[in-house]
């Protein structure tokens, strides 16, 4: 029997406009599931039930009053949660930190304004790690975000709550953000499709600065079409933004409906992170994706290494400085997580000349890399070097070991934050055999079959449309929508 949460967001929006389903029904359905199931997966840190129902009643009235419901906004009545790094006026805002556990949002981020204008309903704020710094969602102010495919394992980060919500049927789609892989990581470990857009495609303002250009907002969804629709809604340049993406022809949703043509695709399993080893399951996903691309008629060739290990310290320096951007009063320092304190100490010890030198080194490397990368329509990598990690695998370590494990877990994602290129994680592969313990070696009690393993495709600057067309082709060839974790039918 089909349940409301079985509907895609695109189908849901159409059903609202044709009055097959009401916004009030949607809000009630998801809020009921959240109340029953959120504790199992740690998707939401704040649930805005009263607000969601109020918005749903207003949306339902607009449908009934509309002369032509087809003219309603594209996400009218569709629930879309917001990551707790993004501010919503009048709603609790924690940044994933005990330091800000009592903060109430005093403005809407531009992406929130865009989603509100598109008619979406706010179910709540999804969990995130402190200041969005780690690749896992643990500690701070909420229980860990867990992948519903195996709740002993992390949902990734920093958009871990968003990934857990969509994969568990606690939201049809979700807004996330990505500064070093934070949309693609949860998408991979939760069996979802996620898009990190081109730098400047989605406004970071008005509160969050975009000084380094590493981070961007983007969609997490179950289908390529849903993600493309959500990106259309999010996209937009606002006064004061430091970056602007190249214009796109038509809508992103239209690219999901058109074939990509024959593409020249490079592939690489080489990473810039010393000591990062790719797990056999991730190798299998990568090889299977390569073969599928060839079967679909694309040319697949090897990518020369364009960004080397000498750039890793420069990126890590930027990450430490980014950890200092969120202000913390001296008397609240003790509330910070150990990793956050460690990163902030590194950032505060960085001098201005060192920071400029790091930026210059990264820019110089990119100037040499772009002529090579632009010779391809897309570039294929594993999304992650390892299967979903057990909860605590990173968080329970000393900060230096924690951070080292994170860099080896995510060696392929951050280069595209440095370059600003768009990148997607596509859920093409699930393990068929038990994965023993994930990163760090075997552990029989953690053996779980059927874990999702994503593959990553990166594109040229402004090339989200090509990635969407290609991903839709892959989705049609190897549909994943029928794969659902046990919690889905709970």
- Catalytic center residues: 83, 158, 182
Can you point out the beta strands (E) in 310-400?
A: 378-382
Tokens of 94: 């924690």
Can you point out the beta strands (E) in 129-234?
A: 173-178, 193-196, 216-221
**In whole angstroms, what is the distance from residue 186 CA to residue 454 CA?**
10
Residue 169 CB coordination number (10 Å)? 24
Which DSSP category does 100 fall into? G
255 Cβ contact partners less than 8 Å away, ≥ 6 residues apart: 228, 464, 465, 466, 468, 469, 472
**What values do phi and psi take at 38, rounded to 5?**
-60, -35
339 Cβ contact partners less than 8 Å away, ≥ 6 residues apart: 130, 133, 134, 395, 399, 402, 403
Residue 385, CA distances (Å) to 127, 250, 278, 283 in order? 24, 35, 4, 8
Which long-range contacts (C-beta less than 8 Å, at least 24 apart) are formed by 401-407?
A: 402/134, 402/339, 403/339, 403/342, 403/343, 405/439, 405/440, 406/134, 406/135, 406/136, 407/273, 407/276, 407/312, 407/316
Helix (H, G, I), strand (E, B) or coil at 174: strand
109 Cβ contact partners less than 8 Å away, ≥ 6 residues apart: 86, 87, 88, 204, 205, 206, 207, 208
Which DSSP category does 191 fall into? T
Across the beta sheet with 452-459, the strand order is: 173-178, 216-221, 193-196, 423-430, 452-459, 378-382, 264-267, 299-302
- Report CA dihedral (345, 348, 351, 352) to the nearest 10 degrees: 140
Which DSSP category does 143 fall into? P
Residue 33, CA distances (Å) to 23, 150, 476 in order? 16, 19, 29
3 Cβ contact partners less than 8 Å away, ≥ 6 residues apart: 29, 169
Residue 452 has, within 13 A of its CA and on its CB side, a CA count of 35
Distance of CA 165 to the CA centre of its chain: 12
Which DSSP category does 193 fall into? E
**In whole angstroms, what is the distance from residue 223 CA to residue 47 CA?**
24
């Amino acid at each position: 029997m089909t349940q409301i949460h079985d509907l895609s967001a695109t189908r849901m929006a159409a059903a609202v406009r044709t009055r097959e389903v009401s916004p009030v029904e949607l809000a009630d359905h998801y809020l009921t599931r959240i109340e029953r199931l959120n504790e199992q997966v740690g998707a939401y840190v704040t649930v805005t039930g009263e607000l969601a129902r109020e918005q749903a009643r207003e949306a339902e009235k607009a449908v009934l009053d509309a002369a032509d419901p087809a003219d309603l906004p594209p996400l009218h009545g569709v629930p879309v949660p917001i990551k707790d790094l993004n501010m919503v006026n009048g709603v609790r805002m924690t940044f994933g930190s005990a330091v800000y556990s009592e903060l109430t949002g005093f403005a809407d981020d531009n992406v929130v304004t865009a989603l509100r204008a598109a008619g979406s309903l706010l179910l709540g704020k999804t969990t995130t790690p402190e200041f969005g710094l780690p690749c896992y969602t643990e500690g701070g102010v909420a229980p860990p975000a867990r992948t519903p495919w195996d709740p002993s394992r992390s949902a990734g980060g920093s958009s871990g709550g968003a990934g857990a919500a969509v994969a568990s049927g606690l939201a049809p789609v979700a807004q996330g953000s990505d500064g070093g892989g934070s949309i693609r990581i949860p998408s991979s470990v939760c069996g979802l499709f996620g898009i990190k857009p081109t730098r400047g495609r989605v406004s970071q303002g008005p509160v969050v600065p975009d000084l380094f250009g590493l981070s961007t907002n983007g969609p997490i969804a179950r289908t390529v079409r849903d993600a493309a629709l959500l990106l259309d809604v999010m996209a937009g340049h606002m006064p004061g933004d430091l970056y602007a993406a190249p214009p796109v022809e038509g809508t992103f949703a239209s690219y999901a409906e058109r074939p990509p043509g024959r593409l020249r695709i490079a592939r690489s399993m080489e990473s810039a992170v010393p000591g990062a080893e790719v797990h056999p399951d991730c190798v299998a996903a990568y090889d299977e994706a390569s073969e599928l691309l060839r079967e679909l008629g694309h040319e697949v060739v090897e990518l020369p290494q364009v960004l080397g290990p000498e750039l890793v310290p420069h990126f890590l320096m930027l990450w430490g400085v980014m950890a200092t951007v969120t202000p913390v009063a001296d008397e609240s320092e003790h509330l910070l997580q150990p990793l956050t304190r460690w990163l902030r100490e590194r950032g505060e010890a960085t001098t201005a000349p060192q920071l400029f030198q790091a930026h210059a080194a990264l820019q110089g490397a990119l100037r040499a890399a772009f002529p090579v990368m632009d010779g391809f329509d897309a570039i294929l990598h594993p999304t992650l070097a390892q299967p979903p990690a057990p909860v605590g695998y990173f968080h329970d370590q000393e900060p230096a070991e924690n951070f080292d494990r994170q860099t080896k877990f995510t060696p392929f994602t951050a280069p595209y934050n440095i370059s600003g290129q768009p990148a997607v994680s596509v859920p093409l592969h699930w393990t068929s055999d038990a994965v023993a313990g994930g990163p760090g070696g075997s552990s029989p009690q953690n053996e779980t079959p059927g874990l999702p393993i994503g593959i990553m495709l990166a594109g040229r600057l402004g090339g989200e449309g090509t990635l969407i067309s290609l991903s839709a082709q892959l989705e049609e060839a190897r549909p994943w929508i029928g794969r659902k974790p046990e919690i889905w039918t709970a």
